[in-house]
Each structure stands twice: as structure tokens, then as C-alpha cells.
Amino acid sequence: MSDHVYKKIELTGSSTRSIDDAISTAIAKASTTLRNLHWFEVTETRGQIEDGKVAYWQVTLKVGLRID
Amino acid sequence: MSDHVYKKIELTGSSTRSIDDAISTAIAKASTTLRNLHWFEVTETRGQIEDGKVAYWQVTLKVGLRID
Amino acid sequence: MSDHVYKKIELTGSSTRSIDDAISTAIAKASTTLRNLHWFEVTETRGQIEDGKVAYWQVTLKVGLRID
Amino acid sequence: MSDHVYKKIELTGSSTRSIDDAISTAIAKASTTLRNLHWFEVTETRGQIEDGKVAYWQVTLKVGLRID
Amino acid sequence: MSDHVYKKIELTGSSTRSIDDAISTAIAKASTTLRNLHWFEVTETRGQIEDGKVAYWQVTLKVGLRID
Amino acid sequence: MSDHVYKKIELTGSSTRSIDDAISTAIAKASTTLRNLHWFEVTETRGQIEDGKVAYWQVTLKVGLRID
Amino acid sequence: MSDHVYKKIELTGSSTRSIDDAISTAIAKASTTLRNLHWFEVTETRGQIEDGKVAYWQVTLKVGLRID
Amino acid sequence: MSDHVYKKIELTGSSTRSIDDAISTAIAKASTTLRNLHWFEVTETRGQIEDGKVAYWQVTLKVGLRID
Amino acid sequence: MSDHVYKKIELTGSSTRSIDDAISTAIAKASTTLRNLHWFEVTETRGQIEDGKVAYWQVTLKVGLRID
Amino acid sequence: MSDHVYKKIELTGSSTRSIDDAISTAIAKASTTLRNLHWFEVTETRGQIEDGKVAYWQVTLKVGLRID
Amino acid sequence: MSDHVYKKIELTGSSTRSIDDAISTAIAKASTTLRNLHWFEVTETRGQIEDGKVAYWQVTLKVGLRID
Amino acid sequence: MSDHVYKKIELTGSSTRSIDDAISTAIAKASTTLRNLHWFEVTETRGQIEDGKVAYWQVTLKVGLRID
């Protein structure tokens, strides 16, 4: 990391399966248009409830990408 | 959501299996006595340790419910 | 807990599998050298990204241990 | 306040008009079923967007009520 | 705690004597109508001043109670 | 929201009239170049003072937009 | 701002009308005795409730003033 | 409080006896030169240690005073 | 303090008597094995409830010690 | 600032020399592709360690730019 | 510090040279009119940008002074 | 980092020269007794004042070290 500049963007991914999957979904989506994704940091974990169950998980994360 | 008022309550669920399951447990329990649960936000993730393992996971969440 | 003093230490565990596994890894490692681990609190969830996927999860937690 | 105990509840009100009106809506609704509301503290201000405009404002507040 | 769900409520107690007494007052009051109070966490310590002295102490705490 | 990924951007709008108007200004401006704006969250409220009056209000908000 | 030192003071203004008016009240009052007020930052929004309505709004702000 | 403006100042009091006494000391001192002190909020509790004991307690508080 | 390095450790003390006593207990315990304790900062105040009373107080503090 | 809208982006710069230089590096890099950069706010200061020395400094900052 | 009361004031200093210099500037300025300055705590680091460079650094700090 | 566990310790370094030097001092000191220091995060920047000047800078940082 010693001679690069990084940008952090903030994304919210969702999944009907799990917290981990919501994160993976956001990263997979971002990587289709952005290159050089390096790390992420979770900033918020939420979800929607239907019929007494978690209908889907929503996780917000900051993603760091190197700008060349 | 445009013409409703929501109340947020704070719950702690626990599970011997996973973070996600502790959340689901809290929501399932709450839904037996409360109607109109809409969303949740995780505020704290903790757990108890026994014999070098996570004995159970404890997750605190705020749950939003519509009050009619 | 009524007549003990506890110390909290801060650890970061990692895992290629899941958030829950990164926590378990940190606790298993700590328990090989420290006795009387009682509870943990998650303070940060991060990870490294490679090829549009989470390469490994990194979770920081505070672990409380009783000092006799 | 010297010899009372107060309870704080957390509410989210919404309004198509303004931040102030979303707060008033939450308080008016709460006062139909709860007595002795004394004060409030705003904890979050959000809103929904439609067609480049604020469709409705959503304000979360803690409301303090005296329990006799 | 392994198979229970807990609810946290937020209370403000007051006392003309001390911080500790304001906490005890809130808990004593809550326990007259609520069962299964387990723990508390202090979130705010305030007070009112009269004639250059603390007239009464006001302490806000979250109280965890088991919901069966 | 179940199968989308959202991006949050941070904007500061200003207005000589009111807090609400500074928010509307930022959203109106953003919507001229960005599609699919869904919600906002206020993160900071400031302003400039001239002659003992608020000369203009400055409100910072995070805006969530769906990325298809 | 390049060669000045600023002091921040913290004020709470109140108004029976609106959040914006409570801010303006605090600034107008401060400007009667202090010169060179430049900017403000809102740190807390509260209010008192009477008869199911907001009786008055109370807004705390930090005000920056240049000290020559 | 409806038609006043308040100023908050930040003080640190100390005491060799207790947390409560450190607060009272700060307020007593402030009231010798300032009028109209109304309330306080504790923002930090610290202390100095000597010979395995608390040598003195240091409590920082914000004090609200009415400016007429 | 000008030419030393300090380490901060985090401890939780408990007491059946008071907040102040829980702090003193943690410091007394730490000083039996650690030298050069200088100061502490309270980070959390909690407690356990039994029969509508505080059964014991639990206070978490960071303790600064000089490392020579 | 009265009739503009600003966007804040988050960058991490690094430098082998100093905190200040890591900030300047991030800003210089950003200004090669972005116009109208106005101000920055530091949100995190970190670094990497090698051989008991700071190998490089990493500073994260939010940068405000006017969008015309 | 055992038998004194301290006041904290909040200042913003600026400098075209460095973060450290902006702090020194604020303290030098404050010491021309205030006696007994003891310590400071940095609360915010910002700056203005011109032509892809830091035009000046702005650092906000709380300064503790003894009131006799 | 993929298959290691890290521990974070918290240190305060001081220097009469600069913020950067206070950090370097803490790290140099820690590295005389601890191996495998990897990174640091600044958590607090303070200092002592004498004669209207910064007498020494005190910076608190968390240092991450690999535990094998």
C-alpha cells in the first residue's frame, strides 16, 4: 500500500440467506464495474421482517479500491 | 411508510449455532406477541465462551414495528 | 461475577469461510495460552477482497477473561 | 423531576411536509395511548426520495414519559 | 442465557442523594411492575443544580429483562 | 430491496431559507445526473452566520441509489 | 480563515415555533454580546411536550467566533 | 425553558473522596463566579492512582447556564 | 510524562457496594501484579439485578501504566 | 457556499514520510482527475510498522468538491 | 490536579505549514489572554484545498485551564 | 493475514518534537520487548502546555501484533 491512493465507496448489499451472503453480493456487484477492490469494512447490519422471519438481510459496507 | 408511526424496541437473542440464528431467534420470539414487525438493526454482537469455543452467540437488535 | 476482576483483551481473527468462523478462530487461538476466557464483544468486521470475492474475513473482538 | 422515574421509548414518525411535522406526528400518535409524555430527543433524520424530491420525511426520536 | 430472549428498556431515575441511588430508584420502580429484570447499563448521567449544589441526580440506564 | 445493491453517496446542500430546503436542494441537484435515488440520511447540520442571522443553512446527507 | 484563531461556544436556543427558529434565537441572542460569529454546527435537537404537542423546540449548537 | 437561551461550559472537578464529590466540587466552584447554573451532564470519569488506590477522582461535566 | 511510554489495559471490577468501590476493586487487584499504575478512565458502568435491587455493580475502566 | 451543492468522497493516502504528507498525497492524486476540491476532514490515521519503525503512514480523509 | 477545578475551552487554529503548527498557533493565541493553560486534546483535523494542495490546515482542540 | 490471529495493544507515546515523533517513540519502545508488530491506529492526540507552547505531544495508538 506504500505508494498508492485508495478510495472508499459505501454499498448496501442484500440477501435472503445470510449476513455473509449480503456482503458477498455487494462485492460481486461492485466488481463487475470497478477494478482493484482491496478490502471492506462493515458499517451497518439491518434486515426486513416478514411473518416472524428475516425476509432478507441488508448489510452496508465501505469498500476500498486502489486508484492508479 | 408514508403515513404511519413506528416504534423501535430493543431485543437480545441468543443461539448456540450462529450470529444469524441469534437474530432469527429474537425475531421469532417477538413475533409471537407483537404484530407488524417490519425491520431490524443490529446494535451489538457478543457471546459466551466455554472450553475455548463459542458456547452461545448473543445479538442485540432494534426491531421496528408499526403502531396502527 | 460478583467478586472477580476481569481483563479485556482485543484480538483479530481471520477465516476464509465466514464471520462466525473468524471469531471462533480468534477464541480458539487465545484459549491455547490464556485460561478463564468468559465472553467476547465484536468491535469491527472487515475483510480482504480478491477477484470479486471475499478472500478472508477479519473480525476484531474484545475477550473478557477472569484474573484470579 | 426530583422524585419520579421516567421511561424512554423510541418512535419514528413520517410526514410528506417537513422534519418538524414528522416529529409532531409521532408525538400526536403516541399521546393517543400513552399519558405523561414530557420530552423528546431526535436520534435520526431520514427520508424517501421520489422523482428528485423528498417524498416523505422520517424522523426517529426518543420520548420520555413519567411512570407513576 | 443460552435459550432466552431479552428485552432492553430505557429508564431515567432520579435521587437527591447520589448517582448510585438514582440507579437503584429506577430499578426498584421498574421491578414493581416488571418481572425478570437481569442487568442494567448506564447510558447518561445528568443532574439539576440549585444554589450552587446538585439538587438531584438523574441517571439513564438500559435494563435487560427476560421475556419468557 | 431484496435483490438489489445500493450505493451511498454523501452530499452537502445549502439554502438561505431552511434546513428542509437545503436537503431538497441537494437531492434536486443530484437527481439531474443520477438515477434511482431512493432514500437519504442526514449526517450533519451546519450553517454560516452574518449580522446575527443564519445567512445560509448547510446540511450533509447520505443518499442511497440503486445500482442496476 | 487562513490566519485566525476561532473559539467554539455551545448554546441551546428554544422556540415554540420550529427547529430552525430555535437555532436563529440562539444566534440572535449570542450576537448581542459577541462579535465575529461565523458558523454553527447543530449537536442536539430536543423538545418539551404538552397535551400531545411540541410545546417548544430546544436545539443545541456550537457557534464558531473569530478571536482577533 | 421556553424563552431563554442557555450556554454550556465544560468543567473538570476533582476530589479525593468520590465521583459524586468531584462533580459537586466543580459545580460549587463554578457557582462562585457564574449565576443561573441549571443542569449538568457528565462527559468523562477518570482518576489518578497512587499505591494501588484511587488518589483522586476527576470528572468532566458540561454545565448549562441561562444567559439573560 | 515527557519521556515515557504508557500502556493502557482494560479491566472490569465488581462490587456489591457502589460504583466507586467497583473501580477501587479493579485497581487494587491490578496493582498486586502490575507496577506503575498511573491513571484510569471509566468506559462502561453496568450491574446485575436481583429482587429489584442492584446485586453488584460492574465498572469497566482503562488503566494507564508506565512501561520503563 | 450559498448556492452550490458539494459531494464528499473518502480517500486514503499513504506516505513514508509523515501524516501531513500522506494527506497531501491523497489530495494531489485526487486533483489530477477531479476539479473543484474545496476542503478535507481527517477521519482515520493509521500506519504500517517494519523493524520497529513506521514504514508508511496511512491517512483517510473526506474531501469536499463542488458539483456545478 | 487534586484540589483544582479546570475549564475546557474549544479552539480552532490554522496554519499554512502543518497540523502541528495549527495547534501551536491556537495555543499561542489563547495564552495571550488566558493564564494557566495545562493541556489540550485534538477533536478535529480539517483543511482547505487550493490548486491540488493543502492551502491551510485547521485543527480544533479542547484546551484545559485551571480556574483558581 | 489469512491464517493468523492478531492482538491489539494500546500505547501512549510522548515527544517534545511532534505528533509523528510521539507515535514513533511508542512503536520503538514497544518493539524492544514485543515481536511481530504490524500496524497501528491513532485513537487520541493530546499534549501538555507550558508558557504558551506545546511542552510535549502525547499520542495514543492501538498496535496490532501477530501472535504465532
A8: left (phi over 0), alpha (psi -120 to 50) or beta: beta
Mean pLDDT on H32-50 = 96
Which DSSP state fits J16?
A: S
pLDDT value for D3: 65
pLDDT value for K64: 97
pLDDT value for G4: 85
- In percent, the amount of chain G with pLDDT more than 90 equals 93
Joined together, the cell numbers standing for residue H64 give 448549562
pLDDT value for F2: 52
Q: Which residues pair with C15 in a beta bridge?
A: C57
- Which has the closest alpha carbon to C23: I11, L68, B25, B18? B18
Mean pLDDT on A15-35 = 96
pLDDT value for H1: 46
Chains contacting B (3+ CB pairs below 8 angstroms): A, C, D, E
Band of residue L3 on the pLDDT scale cut at 50, 70, 90: low
pLDDT value for E53: 97
Q: Give the separation between CA D27 and CA D13, rounded to whole angstroms.
A: 8
pLDDT value for C4: 85
pLDDT value for G3: 65
Which DSSP state fits E3?
A: T
Q: Which residues pair with K5 in a beta bridge?
A: K67
pLDDT value for E68: 72
Interacting residues of K19 by C-beta distance below 8 A, sequence separation 6+? J19, J20, K45, K57, K59, L19
**Which chain H positions have a beta carbon within 8 Å of E45's beta carbon?**
41-42
Q: Give the separation between CA F27 and CA L61, rounded to whole angstroms.
A: 39
Joined together, the cell numbers standing for residue I67 give 512501561
Mean pLDDT on E6-27 = 97
Residue D1 reports pLDDT greater than 80: no
Interacting residues of D41 by C-beta distance below 8 A, sequence separation 6+? D61, D62, D64, G44, G45, G46
Task: List, for residues E39-65, the tens digit of each pLDDT value.
Answer: 999 999 999 999 999 999 999 999 999
Q: Give the separation between CA K50 and CA L5, rounded to whole angstroms.
A: 43
* Residue G35 CA: distances (Å) to CA of A62, D53, G66, H68, K13: 42, 38, 8, 17, 18
Chains contacting D (3+ CB pairs below 8 angstroms): B, E, F, G
SS3 content of chain I, % helix, strand, coil (to 5): 20, 60, 25
Band of residue J68 on the pLDDT scale cut at 50, 70, 90: confident
CA distance B9 to chain D (A): 7
- Sequence length of chain F is 68
pLDDT value for I55: 97
Q: Are C19 and C59 in contact (CB under 8 A)?
A: yes
Task: List, for residues D50-68, the tens digit of each pLDDT value.
Answer: 999 999 999 999 999 999 7
Residue I1 reports pLDDT greater than 70: no
Q: Which residues pair with K7 in a beta bridge?
A: H11, K65
Band of residue H2 on the pLDDT scale cut at 50, 70, 90: low
Q: Which of A13, A16, A55 is the closest to F5 by Cβ?
A: A13
- In percent, the amount of chain J with pLDDT more than 90 equals 91
Mean pLDDT on F8-34 = 96
Interacting residues of D52 by C-beta distance below 8 A, sequence separation 6+? F27, F28, F30, F31, F32, F37
Q: Which of H18, H49, H51 is the closest to I40 by Cβ?
A: H49
Task: List, for residues B24-63, the tens digit of each pLDDT value.
Answer: 999 999 999 999 999 999 999 999 999 999 999 999 999 9
Say whether the ipTM exceeds 0.85. Answer: yes
Task: List, for residues K15-28, the tens digit of each pLDDT value.
Answer: 999 999 999 999 99
E strands in chain C: 5-15, 37-50, 53-67
- Which has the closest alpha carbon to L66: L8, L6, L2? L6
pLDDT value for A29: 94
Chain E interface, mutation test: which of H9, H17, H19, H20, most E Cβ atoms within 10 Å?
Answer: H20
By C-alpha distance, the chain A residue nearest F63 is A10
* Interchain proximity J4–F11, CB inside 8 Å: no
Mean pLDDT (chain C) is 94
pLDDT value for E1: 47
* Interchain proximity G10–H67, CB inside 8 Å: no
Helices (H), L1-68: 19-31
Name the 3-class secondary structure at D2.
coil
Mean pLDDT on K27-54 = 96
